[in-house]
């Protein structure tokens, strides 16, 4: 065999992936796809929980804003503001899915404060309960005070 300057003999190609290498690569790819799926599912679950919390806050704020505009006589008159349980759907307008319903309750109580003007105040609490995904029961509460000479005196 005569070789010229700069020529060399290349050995036959024996470099290839073995079955073990291919299985390991597939296992790594499977773990990566599983992690990606789990991350996306977790993100969507967090977004759903945030939407449910935001809707609960909207419902409570709506009730609070309504009570804020009542006169003192209306707030202290038992029976004027309904304190029985109310139901509100997740979709407020135009939704047909009623699978998620919020159950709420308004309570008006004496302020419980030790000051002399405590009789001129009432503690208003709005509580919202709902059953989230997977049957998890969730609750949110909002509390405020209403006074005899509060905002309602300026509105009327």
Question: Do 107 and 84 touch, CB atoms closer than 8 A?
Answer: no
Return the structure tokens found at 25.
């690569």
Output the CA torsion sign for 28, 34, 40, 43: negative
Question: Do 27 and 66 touch, CB atoms closer than 8 A?
Answer: no
pLDDT, tens only, 54-110: 999 999 999 998 888 888 888 888 888 887 899 988 886 766 666 789 999 999 999
> Residue 18 to residues 11, 13, 22, 100: CA-CA distances in angstroms?
19, 14, 6, 53
Gap between the Cα atoms of 129 and 136, Å rounded? 11
Is pLDDT larger for residue 67 or for residue 7? 67
pLDDT, tens only, 38-49: 999 999 999 999
pLDDT, tens only, 114-144: 888 888 899 999 999 999 877 889 999 999 9
What's the confidence (pLDDT) of residue 41?
95
Gap between the Cα atoms of 142 and 139, Å rounded? 10
Is pLDDT larger for residue 35 or for residue 152? 35
pTM confidence score:
0.73
Gap between the Cα atoms of 113 and 75, Å rounded? 18
What's the confidence (pLDDT) of residue 54?
94
State the burial class of residue 122 (Cβ atoms within 10 Å of its Cβ: 0-12, 13-18, 19+). Answer: buried
What's the confidence (pLDDT) of residue 152?
61
Gap between the Cα atoms of 127 and 135, Å rounded? 19
Domain boundaries, the chain: 19-155
**Res. 35: pLDDT tops 60:** yes
């Amino acid at each position: 065999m005569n070789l010229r300057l700069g020529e060399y003999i290349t050995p036959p190609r024996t470099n290839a992936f073995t079955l073990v290498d291919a299985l390991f690569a597939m296992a790594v790819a499977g773990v990566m796809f599983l992690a990606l799926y789990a991350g996306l599912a977790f993100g969507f679950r967090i977004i759903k929980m945030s939407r449910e919390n935001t809707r609960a806050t909207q419902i409570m704020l709506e009730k609070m804003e309504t009570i804020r505009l009542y006169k003192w006589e209306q707030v202290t008159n038992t029976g004027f503001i309904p304190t029985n349980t109310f139901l509100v759907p997740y979709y407020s307008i135009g939704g047909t899915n009623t699978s998620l319903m919020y159950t709420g309750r308004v309570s008006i109580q004496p302020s419980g404060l030790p000051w002399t003007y405590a009789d001129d105040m009432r503690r208003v609490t709005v509580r919202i309960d709902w059953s989230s995904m997977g049957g998890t029961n969730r609750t949110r509460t909002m509390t405020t005070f209403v006074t005899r000479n509060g905002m309602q005196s300026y509105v009327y």
